[in-house]
């Protein structure tokens, strides 16, 4: 008797799960995009894509999830995805940020990668909403020719699709691509497409089924320097005596077309616009206000070519590498500065302390391939926890500095593929008793005291055997 | 000392000289023996542990003097010992016996030694030491030693710059040392005499002179203070009973006398604390007591008038103060400025020339780790440390042939130079060029030494080929050999395009050959002020192909770029 019941139960379960999966997949099909507009900005080496989607729920059940899909090559270079939705009507519109999470779908065609946007209010059937999506791509412009001489300008390829890759049916879509200059060697034509000035327009295309793809290739001039920090280690050291010491170690590379053959200083100096147009001459770092004791150096000493401008709201450090960086050339350097502690360290209501500091790299227009942020907490602090607005790898280390006994707790956060948009704040919470501040001075004082006591004792005690 | 500097040979020769002097002047004592014998044994053993020295500590002639004196001091000690044991008559017999036998043995040993030493060309002495003994030696035989600016003899102004007031105090100090000539003061005299000679031969041995000059002038000053304060004391004790003196003067002088008293008390205290020294001190006190009494008598005779002694004391103090000011200035201006970062003051502020580090940083980050860099040896250590690249020759000038090879390459025409560098597996050639900003110690100014050193080993490089009527010049009057050598070409490549004339600010002339092309080298990097120029050797395959192309047709040169990329892979058709 029991066995058939069990079988029936199992069958029921399978049926139910099948039904569920159908429901789920059908929920994809419920939605359709009535209008999509995509603007791709190629003016720097970080590709910015603004996507405006008008999503309509054509199904019967309300849904609050909208999927974005990316081809796997793009997904590897994807730095951030942000989604905004406009609220209110007419003039009182406000932008509300929506949650975006990477999701895995089992039946993704051609290994497409998905991101899910969670709407604040579920979309009822028949309703429609407009979502603004911004995503940034790094390392997506491939220099071609891969090697250029000093006098040549840098040409790059950008690969994408004329049609937006989407799991939904798109009724109407247009793509605008903005190039840095009017020099466009070639671009794939997918009718209707045309070029005017620095803009290439693809579309409008009507009624394309889900997962439509139409590869395009644009070959254009991009002379902006491809400043890439291969590795950046930021160390933030908290001293409760009132200072926050930041040390940043950079490995900078020009990731554009590789320099080939001769470097001629006379050409570079006499015709700077024609020669080495894509070379990296200087970098701008935006530092917090009230920065002090800034240094800029490398393994062989101070680099004298830097300027610091400070005002009440921000500090700008303009640094020149020792030599102009051409494609493929590298440079390493260290930037360090001190900050007043009260600007960054706060106390919570439950007597914990937290550091509020920016996460990303302070250099403008720079991609960071690998970033390690180390927050060195003072000796004796406990229960550290970090709150970062995006997923990072975390672990704890111990660092020994001068006169340390138990070592300082270091919260290490690692993240790959960063863009300036990642310069948001993160918090590190910890508990710390102020009495620990006195440990090191007391240690020193007692050591000296003991030394003097020993001296006094030695002078006053007669150790001689013979009287 | 051995670890830090090769100048230790000075000390290991100075000490034996002193010991020998003591023996000759009949000042031999067991103290001397105890001090010297362990020094030689332990010193030689320890010196031999230093890798650079190794067996040189017993093989080279520089160390020979110490061993000779070591033998002599043993003989002398033995003689004194025998003298103590035997009666005077027996001693005389023994002396005649030993001397007759000993002389024969000594002659034989010395003959063998001389034969051994004479068989080596430099008589077992290293070039540097020989050039010290014979100042004309280096310029005759080893240009590499003569080429270094710090091996040149110093000028009189440099003496005054470096030792200033001490130049006048040293003779006084030497005289003061002779007044009672003791073991210690004879050493000081020997020290100053030898160091003055050596510093006269090489500028950098001013380092040896400095402490000796300080010691002797210190002795001179202390003697002078002694005389002046003594005479003040004498005058005051005499005057207090007789006449009245100004209150201010008495106070100052009493203060001085008090300090004197403190000074004299101090050694007594230390003597109490350390019984081992006590005996020595006692001896000295016993020795000095009669002398001080004699001095007191002398003082009465030599006492200076009060006013003049006070004034001269003040003057001496002033002199010392000025000397301190001068030393601080000299240390700050002449010896602290890094030669790698140059600065110039102009009307719009300080201008920094950081070209050396720019070039080294470029080499460090943008060349392969295994690439070798050839440059004149002056930049060897800098390249090794700052650029982290292998160099062909560096500031450790032990391998003269190697440096001569680089010198020959620099003074050869391009093709021959390329072949030399290629055989050395060199990838980059670095030259220092000051013609654009007027940096005088650049490679063109050092070039004659490259020719000389290169010519010393490879005779096909002849110095007269580079000189027009005995003059070194790079303008239109220069010899064709000069205008075609690698150093000229690497320094002035495309220099004329900067100002249209090619005016060299160091030599103050327009350069001789303005427009030329490089066929075997290509410019890899030039720093901001053109002070360092780095060239890359063109790969050989490409060069041969270029040649065959030229003979066939000119059109193929336009399509060279894809072919060049093809040459990177070895034999793509196989």
Using the predicted structure, report yes or no on whether residue B566 has a pLDDT greater than 70: no
Q: For position B407, what pLDDT does the model report?
A: 92
Taking only the tens place, the pLDDT of each residue in B97-151 is 878 888 888 888 888 878 777 766 555 566 666 666 776 666 666 677 777 777 7
CA angle, B244 as apex, B241 and B245 as ends, to 5°? 115
How far, in Å, CA of A363 to CA of A227, rounded?
10
Taking only the tens place, the pLDDT of each residue in B369-414 is 999 999 998 899 999 999 999 999 988 877 788 899 999 999 999 9
Closest alpha carbon within chain A to B352: A304
First to last CA, chain A: 109
How far, in Å, CA of B278 to CA of B271, rounded?
5
Q: For position B334, what pLDDT does the model report?
A: 78
Separation in Å, CA B399 to CA A168, A217, B50, B405: 77, 60, 19, 10
Q: For position A277, what pLDDT does the model report?
A: 82
Q: How many angstroms separate the CA of residue A79 from the nearest CA in chain B?
A: 28
Using the predicted structure, report yes or no on whether residue A85 has a pLDDT greater than 90: no
Using the predicted structure, report yes or no on whether residue A80 has a pLDDT greater than 50: yes
* Stretch 174-193 of chain B: residues touching chain A, C-beta under 8 Å: none
Q: How many angstroms separate the CA of residue A258 from the nearest CA in chain B?
A: 12
pLDDT > 90: what percent of chain B?
Answer: 21
Q: How many angstroms separate the CA of residue B517 from the nearest CA in chain A?
A: 13
Give chain A's contact residues with B (Cβ, < 8 Å): 147, 261-266, 269-270, 298-301, 303-305, 322-323, 328-332
Taking only the tens place, the pLDDT of each residue in B215-228 is 999 999 998 888 88
Confidence of residue B365 (pLDDT cuts 50, 70, 90): very high
Q: Is B173 left (phi over 0), alpha (psi -120 to 50) or beta?
A: alpha
Helical axes B64-85 vs B88-119, angle rounded to 10°: 170
Name the least confident of B239-248, B385-394, B423-432.
B239-248
Please give the interface size between A and B, counted as residue pairs whose CB atoms are below 8 Å apart. Answer: 60
Confidence of residue A234 (pLDDT cuts 50, 70, 90): very high
The residue ranking higher by pLDDT, A446 or A30, is: A446
Of B100, B352, B362, nearest in space to A298 by CA: B362
Of A258, A280, A251, A303, nearest in space to B358 by CA: A303
Confidence of residue B55 (pLDDT cuts 50, 70, 90): confident
Q: What is the dihedral of CA A259, A262, A266, A267, to 10 degrees?
A: -50
Of A189, A225, A284, nearest in space to A45 by CA: A225
Taking only the tens place, the pLDDT of each residue in B289-324 is 445 555 555 545 566 788 888 898 999 999 989 999
Confidence of residue A25 (pLDDT cuts 50, 70, 90): very low
**Assembly ipTM:** 0.85
Task: Determine whether the interchain pair A322/B354 forms a contact, defined as Cβ–Cβ distance below 8 Å.
Answer: yes
Using the predicted structure, report yes or no on whether residue B210 has a pLDDT greater than 50: yes
Separation in Å, CA A186 to CA A158, A189, A216, A218, B105: 11, 9, 10, 6, 99
In degrees rounded to 5, what are phi and psi of residue B403? -65, -40
Q: For position A127, what pLDDT does the model report?
A: 85
Cβ-Cβ contacts under 8 Å, B362 against chain A = 322-323, 329
Taking only the tens place, the pLDDT of each residue in A303-335 is 988 889 998 888 999 999 999 999 899 999 999
Taking only the tens place, the pLDDT of each residue in A157-202 is 999 999 999 888 899 999 999 999 889 999 998 888 888 888 999 9
Q: How many angstroms separate the CA of residue A88 from the nearest CA in chain B?
A: 55
Per DSSP, the residues of B313-339 read: HHHHHHHHHHHHHHHHHHHHHTSSS-S
Confidence of residue A265 (pLDDT cuts 50, 70, 90): confident
Task: Note the Cα B309 to chain centre separation in Å.
Answer: 41
Q: For position A281, what pLDDT does the model report?
A: 87
What's A280's DSSP letter?
B
Using the predicted structure, report yes or no on whether residue B552 has a pLDDT greater than 70: no
Cβ-Cβ contacts under 8 Å, B522 against chain A = 261-262
Q: For position A31, what pLDDT does the model report?
A: 86
How far, in Å, CA of B143 to CA of B403, rounded?
11
Q: For position A200, what pLDDT does the model report?
A: 92
Name the least confident of A422-436, B229-243, B322-336.
B229-243
Mutate to test the interface with A, among B365, B528, B558 (most CBs of A within 10 A): B365
């Amino acid at each position: 008797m029991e066995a058939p019941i069990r079988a029936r139960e199992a069958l029921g379960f399978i049926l139910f799960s099948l039904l569920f999966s159908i429901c789920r997949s059908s929920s994809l099909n419920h939605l359709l995009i009535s209008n999509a507009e995509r603007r791709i900005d190629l003016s720097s080496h970080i590709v910015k894509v603004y996507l405006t989607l008008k999503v309509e729920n054509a199904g019967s059940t309300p849904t609050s999830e909208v999927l974005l899909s990316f081809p796997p090559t793009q997904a590897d270079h994807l730095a951030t995805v942000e989604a905004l939705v406009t609220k209110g009507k007419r003039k009182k519109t406000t932008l509300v940020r929506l949650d975006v999470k990477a999701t895995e779908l089992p039946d993704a065609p051609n290994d497409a990668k998905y991101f899910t946007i969670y709407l604040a209010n579920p979309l009822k059937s028949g309703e429609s909403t407009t979502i603004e999506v911004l995503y940034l791509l790094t390392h997506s412009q491939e220099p071609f020719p891969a090697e250029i001489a000093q006098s040549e300008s840098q040409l790059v390829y950008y690969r994408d699709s004329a049609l937006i890759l989407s799991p939904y049916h798109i009724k109407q879509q247009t793509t605008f691509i903005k190039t840095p200059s009017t020099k466009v060697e070639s671009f794939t034509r997918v009718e209707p497409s045309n070029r005017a000035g620095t803009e290439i327009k693809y579309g409008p295309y009507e009624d394309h089924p889900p997962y439509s793809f139409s590869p395009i290739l644009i070959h254009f001039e991009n002379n902006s320097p491809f400043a890439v920090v291969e590795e950046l280690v930021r160390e933030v050291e908290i001293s409760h005596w009132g200072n926050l010491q930041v040390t940043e170690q950079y490995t900078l590379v020009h990731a554009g077309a590789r320099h080939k053959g001769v470097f001629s200083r006379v050409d570079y100096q006499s015709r700077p616009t024609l020669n080495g147009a894509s070379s990296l001459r200087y970098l701008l770092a935006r530092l917090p206000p009230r920065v002090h004791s800034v240094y800029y150096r490398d393994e062989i000493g101070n680099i004298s070519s830097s300027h610091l401008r400070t005002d009440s709201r921000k500090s700008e450090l303009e640094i020149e590498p020792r030599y102009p960086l051409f494609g493929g050339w590298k440079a390493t350097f260290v930037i360090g500065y001190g900050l007043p502690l009260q600007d960054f360290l706060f106390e919570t209501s439950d007597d914990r302390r937290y550091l509020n500091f920016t996460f990303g790299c302070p250099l403008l227009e720079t991609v960071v391939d690998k970033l390690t942020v180390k927050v060195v907490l003072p000796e004796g602090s406990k229960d550290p926890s970090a709150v970062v607005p995006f997923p990072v790898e975390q672990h704890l280390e111990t660092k020994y500095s001068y006169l340390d006994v138990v070592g300082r707790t270091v919260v290490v956060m690692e993240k790959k593929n960063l863009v300036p948009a990642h310069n948001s704040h993160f918090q590190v919470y910890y508990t710390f008793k102020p009495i620990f501040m006195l440990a090191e001075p007391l240690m020193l004082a007692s050591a000296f005291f003991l030394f003097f006591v020993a001296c006094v004792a030695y002078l006053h005690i007669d150790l001689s055997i013979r009287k | 000392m051995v670890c830090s500097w090769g100048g230790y040979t000075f000390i290991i020769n100075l000490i034996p000289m002193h010991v020998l002097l003591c023996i000759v002047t009949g000042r031999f004592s067991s103290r001397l023996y105890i001090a010297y014998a362990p020094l030689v044994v332990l010193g030689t053993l320890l010196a031999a542990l230093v890798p650079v020295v190794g067996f040189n500590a017993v093989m080279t002639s520089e160390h020979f003097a110490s061993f000779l004196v070591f033998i002599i001091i043993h003989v002398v000690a033995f003689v004194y010992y025998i003298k103590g044991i035997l009666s005077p008559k027996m001693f005389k017999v023994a002396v005649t016996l030993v001397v007759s036998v000993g002389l024969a043995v000594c002659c034989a040993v010395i003959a063998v030694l001389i034969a051994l030493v004479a068989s080596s060309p430099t008589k077992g002495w290293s070039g540097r030491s020989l050039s010290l003994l014979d100042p004309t030696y280096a310029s005759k035989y080893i240009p590499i030693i003569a080429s270094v600016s710090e091996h040149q003899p110093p000028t009189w102004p440099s003496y005054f710059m470096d030792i200033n007031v001490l130049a006048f105090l040293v003779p006084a100090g030497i005289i003061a040392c002779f007044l009672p000539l003791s073991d210690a003061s004879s050493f000081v005299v020997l020290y100053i005499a030898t160091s003055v000679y050596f510093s006269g031969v090489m500028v950098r041995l001013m380092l040896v002179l400095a402490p000796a000059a300080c010691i002797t002038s210190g002795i001179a000053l202390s003697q002078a203070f002694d005389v002046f304060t003594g005479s003040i004391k004498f005058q005051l004790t005499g005057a207090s009973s007789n006449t009245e003196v100004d209150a201010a003067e008495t106070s100052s002088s009493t203060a001085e006398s008090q300090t004197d008293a403190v000074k004299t008390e101090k050694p007594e205290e230390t003597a109490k604390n350390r019984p081992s020294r006590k005996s020595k001190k006692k001896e000295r006190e016993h020795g000095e007591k009669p002398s001080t009494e004699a001095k007191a008598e002398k003082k009465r005779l030599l006492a200076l008038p009060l006013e003049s002694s006070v004034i001269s004391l003040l003057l001496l103090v002033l002199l010392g103060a000025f000397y301190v000011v001068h030393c601080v200035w000299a240390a700050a201006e002449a010896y602290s400025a890094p030669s790698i970062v140059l600065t110039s003051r102009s009307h719009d502020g300080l201008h920094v020339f950081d070209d050396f580090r720019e070039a080294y940083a470029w080499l460090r980050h943008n060349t392969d780790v295994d690439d070798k860099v050839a440059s004149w040896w002056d930049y060897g250590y800098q390249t090794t440390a700052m650029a982290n690249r292998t160099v062909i020759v560096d500031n450790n000038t032990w391998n003269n042939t190697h440096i001569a090879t680089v010198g020959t390459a620099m003074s050869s025409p391009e093709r021959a130079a390329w072949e030399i560098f290629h055989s050395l597996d060199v990838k980059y050639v670095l030259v220092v060029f000051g013609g654009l900003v007027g940096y005088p110690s650049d490679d063109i100014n050092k070039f004659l030494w490259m020719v000389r050193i290169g010519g010393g080993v490879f005779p096909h490089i002849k110095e007269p080929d580079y000189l027009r009527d005995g003059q070194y010049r790079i303008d239109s009057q220069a010899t064709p050999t000069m205008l075609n050598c690698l150093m000229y070409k690497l320094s002035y490549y495309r220099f004329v395009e900067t100002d249209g004339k090619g005016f060299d600010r160091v030599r103050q002339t327009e350069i001789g050959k303005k427009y030329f092309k490089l066929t075997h080298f290509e410019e890899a990097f030039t720093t901001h002020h053109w002070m360092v120029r780095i060239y890359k050797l063109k790969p050989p395959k490409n060069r041969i192909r270029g040649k065959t192309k030229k003979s066939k047709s000119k059109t193929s040169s336009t399509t060279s770029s894809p072919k060049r990329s093809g040459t990177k892979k070895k034999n793509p058709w196989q």
